[in-house]
Structure 1
Amino acid sequence: MEGGVGTAAGPLIEGLVPCSGSPGLESLPAEADELERVRRLELLADLFATVSEKTVDAT
């Protein structure tokens, strides 16, 4: 495992970046693609249930 990312998840999260501004019509296809990639990770719905909201917001 390199950088905390397993080999199976690596390609799915590679290239995901924080939003750099308000989404617009120009960025809509890229935003939809990123959302689909995150959904394919099949993260548990309660993954961050034990993490404080303050900690999640800080990242």
Structure 2
Amino acid sequence: MEYLKKFRQQAGLTQRQMAEALNLSYGYYRQMENDFRKPSFEILVRIKEKFREIDMNKLFEE
């Protein structure tokens, strides 16, 4: 999920910080960001609730 990675970097967060913000394990988040795992609907909702400025359409373009 290249957009998620770019968003995280622009927010100045590490992968660990992003995982903590979303209440995910570091490993799970890393797999998601590197396209080894797709986020569930629940995780997508968490992303949008925590980071309202994120463009969800860009997440689905990938």
Normalising by the residue count of structure 1, what TM-score does the alignment of the two structures yield? Answer: 0.32
Q: Which has the higher helix share?
A: 2
